[in-house]
């Protein structure tokens, strides 16, 4: 089986890099920007990351992470279990209340053409992001250290990536439990290896 990940480290491709490193898998990495020739060749939408598994391109970071976790039987609970339903619920919560807000802020900061940006929206997004943190903290397993207790899942990687993205975007992490989770996750050797790609 041959794996290739296409996408810059400073993009959502990082989540996949981190997942690959946590799983200890061999893979090739092509550091490419959205809509670059390397990306367009395998994904007409031009978005990153693109993951090639057995010559088949897979897009969307969370879809790739889920595929890898399921295929290799790690970083996830088994499909069809109530634990997996809870994990998926957390994953979708992070996508809806963290990733979507941060992506909208990025679009209105530097991605959209300047004439289509609404910089004032970022203040509202930051307020909503702060409110979402308390919701997330209330869903974290009290026995930790991970979101679902003793088991590291792709939801942990996703949350830690979003919190790092928020810090870079100057969206403060106000909840102590999220601060501790992010620090713990970023101390993992797999995080460091992914960052050095």
pLDDT tens per residue across span 86-143: 999 999 999 999 999 999 999 999 999 999 999 999 999 999 999 999 999 999 999 9
Do the Cβ atoms of 31 and 9 come closer than 8 Å? yes
Do the Cβ atoms of 17 and 5 come closer than 8 Å? yes
pLDDT tens per residue across span 78-97: 999 999 999 999 999 999 99
Query: What CATH code is assigned to 82-187?
Result: 1.20.1050.10
What pLDDT is attached to residue 1?
63
Q: Say if residue 31's pLDDT is above 80.
A: yes
Mean pLDDT of the chain: 96
What is the percent of the chain where pLDDT is above 90?
97
CATH 3.40.30.10 fits 3-75, yes or no: yes
What pLDDT is attached to residue 197?
87
Cα 151 from chain centre = 18
Domain residue spans in the chain? 3-75, 82-187
pTM: 0.96
């Amino acid at each position: 089986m041959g794996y290739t990940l296409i996408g810059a480290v400073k993009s959502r491709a990082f989540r996949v890099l981190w997942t690959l490193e946590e799983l200890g898998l061999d893979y090739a990495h092509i550091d490419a920007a959205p809509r670059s020739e390397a990306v367009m060749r395998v994904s007409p939408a031009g978005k990153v990351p693109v993951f090639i598994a057995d010559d088949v391109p897979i897009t969307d970071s969370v879809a790739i992470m889920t595929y890898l976790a399921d295929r290799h039987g790690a970083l996830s609970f088994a499909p069809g279990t109530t634990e997996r339903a809870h994990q998926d619920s957390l994953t979708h919560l992070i996508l809806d209340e963290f990733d979507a807000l941060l992506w909208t802020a990025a679009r209105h900061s530097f991605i959209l053409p300047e004439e289509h940006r609404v910089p004032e929206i970022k203040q509202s997004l930051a307020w909503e992001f702060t409110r979402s943190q308390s919701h997330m903290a209330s869903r974290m397993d009290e026995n930790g250290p991970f979101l679902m207790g003793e088991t590291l899942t792709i939801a942990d990687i996703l949350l830690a990536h979003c919190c790092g993205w928020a810090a870079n975007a100057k969206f403060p992490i106000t909840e102590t439990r999220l601060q501790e989770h992010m620090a713990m996750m970023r101390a993992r050797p797999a995080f460091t290896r992914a960052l050095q790609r």
